[in-house]
Amino acid sequence: MGARRPLFQRPAIVEGRGSDARTRFFPPCRPCWPAFPDDRKAPMEDPKTNPLIQQRLDKLEALREAGINPFPNDFRPTHTAAEIVAAHGDAGADALGALDETFAVAGRVMAFRSFGKAAFVKLQDRSGAIQAYVRRDAVGTGAYQWFKRTDVGDYLGVVGTLMRTRTGELTVDAHEVRLLTKSLRPLPEKWHGLTDKETRYRQRYVDLVMSPRVRETFRTRARIVQLVRGFFQDRDFVELETPMMQPIPGGATARPFVTHHNALDMTLYLRVAPELYLKRLVVGGFERVFEINRNFRNEGLSNQHNPEFTMLEFYQAYATYEDLMGLTEELLAHVSRELTGSTRITYQGDEIDLAPPWDRLTVREAVLRHGEIDEAGVDDPAALAAYARGLGIEVEGLPHGKVLAEVLETVAEPHLVQPTFITRYPVEVSPLSRRSEDDPRFVDRFELYIARREIANAFSELNDPVDQLERFRQQAAALAAGDDEAHRVDRDYIRALEYGMPPTAGEGIGIDRLVMLLTDSPSIRDVILFPHMRPES
């Protein structure tokens, strides 16, 4: 805990260090990537050994022999389930009977209740679900014969009129029913659904079929990204895309993934942040620019960390980190309101209000408020180091500023439930930030905490190329000395700054964590469709 670093803290890249487990990600990949070993084949069971699948294969064969295509693609639904419910959900039985309209719906069979010469099927489509009633007398004996062999999981197309059942459910009274796709693999049990987390993540398609809540989470995710995009577009920001494969990975403290370009015979890194490229674009005249895309960090996995994750980064010229605090308040309040109609959300039992203004505390103030140390102690390196050691933090060789940042994370982070800006970070932990004019030991930077988690990191950008080169050089020296937080020198980035970058403020917001917050999801794996997993064994 004490040694944990901010997710979005910037600085450099470290190569080749670490345990054997880690160096596996750094193979000597030339001239081309090694072939995948044979044992990577997916270890799915052989259908022939699963009697349930074999039965369905037999049904498939029987359909083909009867001249029925089990995978046709000529059925065109006229309505979704939700459209029908929206239009006629309130209509009584008489009104439905008087309706002179036929409806074609298609979907996956989620329930099949047969009565011998009639059956109810629940069809699930992208909008929801609707029930159909299929009678032998209505669809014909021939069609009914194979319809009776429908399996849960199959796709059906149904054409019919609307009716209301004895129990009051709006139902399509079929006069035509067609198999649209035969399903060969049985779905999980209908009542409990798919509960095994590993299977849910590995076979997300099944999870999505079975769990409305999961489908809703990812719809919400799409909506959040859309709202964020609209927010910036409305404010004259341009969305651009910068390289994900970079010769010098920079902009964040993280180990990169390594890959290789065969034709150029060169090492490339998957980016850990778009930062240095987006600021090149500011140099080029895109005074307001943003990107929402993937970053890759070669790190451990946890509830809050996936090797690839989605980050929003945006840069605004002629603005400071203080301007971005206001903008961030607006952004999150806007997204929450559009999403839920309110700025109040519940996250894992905590009531959180995103309505501005949010608390603003300096690092020093936060430590004083939540830690057991007084002002004299915070400002005295020896006293603070002793306090940190008492908290279990490894402080050997760390400058005062880094110790302060560690103490902050240990003592204050667990209390930062309501949205809180933490400002005035030490320059030692902020190598790309602009120094504060009133005190060069600190930088013009904030991190936003909500629900005890870092959600955003922002600062007024360092645009003095001489200072930046000097900081890079110090990093390079530290790198040579074995400091795993050291940066590489990115000479092209310096060159860009030498042409002149207007005064600018920039910010990164972790989209996955934002989605977790707004969907009340406890794990990042709940908001990433296909989270990284070990290979199936």
Partner RNA sequence: GGGCCGUUAGCUCAGCUGGUAGAGCAUCGGACUUUUAAUCCGAGGGUCGCAGGUUCGAUCCCUGCACGGCUCACCA
Q: By CB under 7 A, how many residues form the interface with RNA?
A: 71
Task: Provide the 3-class DSSP secondary structure of residue 283.
Answer: helix
Min separation Cβ 526 and RNA, Å: 9
167 forms part of the interface with RNA (CB under 7 A): yes
135 binds RNA (CB under 7 A): yes
Which one of residues 62, 66, 86, 111 is an interface residue with RNA (CB under 7 A)?
111
Q: What is the DSSP letter of 50?
A: -
137 binds RNA (CB under 7 A): yes
Q: How far is the CB of 301 from RNA (least distance, A)?
A: 8
Asked if 311 touches RNA (CB under 7 A), the answer is no
Asked if 427 contacts 442 with a C-beta cutoff of 8 angstroms, the reply is: yes
Q: Where are the beta strands (DSSP E) in 18-154?
A: 103-114, 118-125, 128-135
Please count the other Cβ atoms lying within 10 Å of the Cβ belonging to residue 477.
Answer: 11
Is residue 297 a contact point for RNA (CB under 7 A)? yes
Closest contact distance (angstroms) between CB of 104 and RNA is: 20
Asked if residue 457 binds RNA (CB under 7 A), the reply is no
Select from 324, 354, 356, 359 the least CA-distant residue to 339: 354
Q: Which stretch binds RNA (CB under 7 A): 130-138, 220-228, 364-372, 417-425?
A: 130-138
Provide, rounded to whole angstroms, the least separation between the CB of residue 55 and RNA: 5
Three-state secondary-structure class, residue 214: helix
Instruction: Candidates 33-41, 303-311, 345-353, 417-425: pick the segment binding RNA (CB under 7 A).
Output: 303-311
Which of 71, 78, 86, 196 is close enough to bind RNA by CB under 7 A?
A: 196
Question: Does the protein bind RNA through residue 61 (CB under 7 A)?
Answer: no
Which residue of 83, 464, 484, 520 would you call a contact of RNA, by CB under 7 A?
484
Tokens of 407: 């103490």
Closest approach of Cβ 232 to RNA, in Å?
Answer: 27
* Closer to RNA by Cβ: residue 288 or 453: 453
Nearer to RNA, 463 or 531 (CB): 531
Residue 198 is a binding residue for RNA (CB under 7 A): yes
Phi and psi for 167 in degrees, rounded to 5? -90, 5
Among 95, 245, 386, 533, binds RNA (CB under 7 A): 533
* 186, 356, 377, 465: which one binds RNA (CB under 7 A): 186
How far, rounded to the nearest angstrom, does the alpha carbon of residue 35 sit from its chain's CA centroid?
30
Q: Which of 25, 101, 140, 189 binds RNA (CB under 7 A)?
A: 189
Name the helix (H) or strand (E) containing 400.
helix 400-407
103 binds RNA (CB under 7 A): no
| Distant-in-sequence, close-in-space partners of 447: CB < 8 Å, separation ≥ 6 | 6, 8, 421, 422, 425, 454, 456, 457, 458
Q: Which amino acid is at 429?
A: V
Task: Tell me, residue by residue from 69 to 98, as one string, x for binding to RNA by CB under 7 A and - for no binding.
Answer: ------------------------------
Min dist CB 66 to RNA, Å, is 15
DSSP state of 396: T
Q: Which of 323, 338, 464, 485 binds RNA (CB under 7 A)?
A: 485
Beta-carbon contacts of residue 130 (< 8 Å; ≥ 6 apart) = 81, 84, 85, 105, 107, 122, 123, 170, 171, 172
Instruction: Write each residue from 31 to 60 as x if it is in contact with RNA (CB under 7 A), else as -, in one continuous string.
Output: -------------------xxx--x---x-
Asked if 152 interacts with RNA (CB under 7 A), we say yes
Of 77, 157, 160, 188, the one binding RNA by CB under 7 A: 188
CA nearest 433: which of 471, 398, 406, 404?
471
Interaction of residue 204 with RNA, rule CB under 7 A: no
In the complex with RNA, which residue's Cβ is closer, 188 or 250?
188
Which CB sits closer to RNA, 139 or 282?
A: 139
Q: Which one of the spans 263-271, 302-310, 417-425, 488-496 is the region binding RNA (CB under 7 A)?
A: 302-310
Provide the minimum distance between the beta carbon of 133 and RNA in the complex, in angstroms, as a whole number: 7
Identify whether the C-beta of residue 92 lies closer than 8 Å to the C-beta of residue 164. Answer: yes
| Window 217-256: residues binding RNA (CB under 7 A) | 253-255
Token couple for 333: 């309040």
Which stretches of 277-382 are assigned E, i.e. beta strand? 288-296, 308-317, 344-347, 350-353, 359-362
How far is CA 212 from its chain centroid? 18
CB-nearer residue toward RNA: 191 or 263: 191
Cα–Cα distance, 142 to 177 (Å, whole number): 11
State the alpha helices, DSSP H only, in 89-211.
93-98, 136-139, 141-147, 197-202, 204-210
Q: How far is the CB of 387 from RNA (least distance, A)?
A: 17
Decide: is 350 part of the binding site for RNA (CB under 7 A).
no
Residue selected from 87, 96, 163, 494 as contacting RNA according to rule CB under 7 A = 163
**C-alpha to C-alpha distance for 275 and 387, rounded to whole angstroms:** 35
24 sits near RNA (criterion: CB under 7 A): no
Q: How far is the CB of 360 from RNA (least distance, A)?
A: 24
Beta bridge partners of 438: none
CB 279 within 8 A of CB 432: no
- What's the min distance (Å) between Cβ of 221 and RNA? 19
Q: Which of 241, 330, 394, 439 binds RNA (CB under 7 A)?
A: 394
The tokens for 324 are 């971005």
CA distances (Å), origin 508, targets 116, 283, 408, 433: 61, 19, 20, 13
The number of residues in the chain equals 537
Instruction: Give whichever of 7 and 84 is closer to RNA, judged by the CB atom.
Output: 7
Strand partners, 290: 239, 314
